[in-house]
């Protein structure tokens, strides 16, 4: 996967960013930091097929996302994109296992026990999201995303609810995944140390992306 972002601008009630551009070749990662409300999640939504920007373009492998037909965009979202949302959006009536299984059902790929073990959630698979901790919910949502083998992973504060040791393990898993699958990682985080583990790290400030 190759992601290219050209001249993006977006505002809601106030302008969030103006004329932002960057390139991510295969196997690379980008971190975006910035104060609450600066527009990090909005940028992630724009880059991940979910929100058309006011201005500018997002290219996956040279294809301009928001110039594609609705069905082409849905196919890319289904097959290529994995999004770990800031709030996990697990289905409450489903067990942890059923939540993860859902993405294998959609993509037809087998579920890997090794992944569940690495994430340390093998023992809570029968429980419902309401009965497990925030950090466990976060790891279930990461397992669900990785199970669909995305070419590009968008992770919005994926370690926000995790202790330092678990956070390190989870991010190692994401970094290994992109190296082994020619994929890309777009990471939003408040953790500067984690940001610096990415190939490029930026702060969203005064409408621009500044190198950390
Ligand atoms: N769909 C929307 N409609 C209107 N305003 C929105 C929408 N989405 C986000 N905003 C506004 O855009 C601004 C930036 O929001 P965003 O969620 O991108 O910030 P953020 O940097 O991710 O913050 P946080 O660190 O708290 O998650 C906020 O003022 C928010 O209220
Ligand atoms: Mg956010």
User: CA separation (Å) from 52 to 38, 44, 48, 80?
Assistant: 18, 11, 10, 18
Q: pLDDT averaged over the chain?
A: 94
For 32-63, write each residue's pLDDT tens digit.
999 999 999 999 999 999 999 999 999 999 99
DSSP state of 109: P
Residue 133 and residue 115 in contact, taking contact as beta carbons nearer than 8 Å: no
Confidence of residue 84 (pLDDT cuts 50, 70, 90): very high
Distance 43 CA to ligand 2 centre (A): 9
Task: Name the residue with the closest Cα to ligand 1, atom 7.
Answer: 12
pLDDT band at 144 (very low <50, low <70, confident <90, very high): very high
Residue 166 has a pLDDT of 85
Q: What pLDDT is stored for residue 87 in this prediction?
A: 75
Q: What is the pLDDT of residues 13-35, one digit of tens each?
A: 999 999 999 999 999 999 999 99
Does residue 42 have its Cβ closer than 6 Å to ligand 1? Answer: yes
For residue 68, which of 81, 82, 85 has the smallest C-alpha distance? 81
CA-wise closest residue to 173 among 131, 112, 129, 92: 112
Q: Is the pLDDT of residue 174 over 90?
A: yes
CA separation, residue 115 to residues 13, 75, 85, 188 (Å): 41, 25, 19, 22
Taking the whole predicted model, whether its pTM rises above 0.85 is answered as yes
189 Cβ below 6 A of ligand 1: no
Give the pLDDT score at 106.
Answer: 81
Q: Is the CB of 40 under 6 A from ligand 1?
A: yes
Report the pLDDT averaged over residues 165-187: 93
Q: How confident is the model at residue 168 (pLDDT cuts 50, 70, 90)?
A: confident
Residues lying with their CB under 5 A of ligand 2, a single-atom ion: 41
More confident residue, 146 or 88: 146
**What is the DSSP track for 116-143?**
HHHTT-GGGTTS-GGGS-HHHHHHHHHH
CATH number for the domain formed by residue range(s) 1-80+152-158+184-212: 3.40.50.300
* Ligand 1 atom closest to residue 44's alpha carbon, by position in its atom list: 18
Q: How far is the CA of 58 from the centre of ligand 1 (A)?
A: 19
């Amino acid at each position: 996967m190759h992601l290219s972002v050209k001249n993006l601008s977006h505002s809601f009630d106030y302008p969030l960013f103006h004329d932002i551009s960057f390139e991510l070749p295969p196997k690379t990662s980008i971190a975006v930091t910035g104060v609450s409300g600066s527009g990090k999640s909005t940028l992630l939504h724009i880059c991940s097929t979910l929100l058309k920007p006011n201005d500018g373009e997002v290219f996956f492998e040279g294809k301009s996302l928001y110039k594609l037909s609705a069905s082409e965009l849905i196919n890319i979202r289904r097959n290529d994109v994995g999004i770990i949302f800031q709030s996990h959006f697990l289905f409450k009536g489903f067990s942890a296992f059923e939540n993860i299984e859902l993405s294998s059902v959609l993509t037809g790929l087998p579920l890997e026990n090794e992944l569940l073990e690495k994430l340390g959630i093998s023992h809570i698979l029968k429980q419902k999201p309401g009965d497990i901790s925030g950090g466990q919910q976060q790891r279930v949502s990461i397992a669900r995303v990785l199970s669909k083998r995305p070419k590009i992973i968008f992770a919005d504060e994926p370690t926000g609810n995790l202790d330092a040791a678990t956070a390190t393990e989870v991010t190692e898993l994401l970094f290994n995944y992109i190296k082994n699958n020619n994929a890309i990682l777009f990471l939003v985080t408040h953790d500067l140390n984690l940001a610096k583990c990415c190939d490029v790290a930026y702060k969203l400030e005064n409408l621009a992306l500044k190198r950390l």
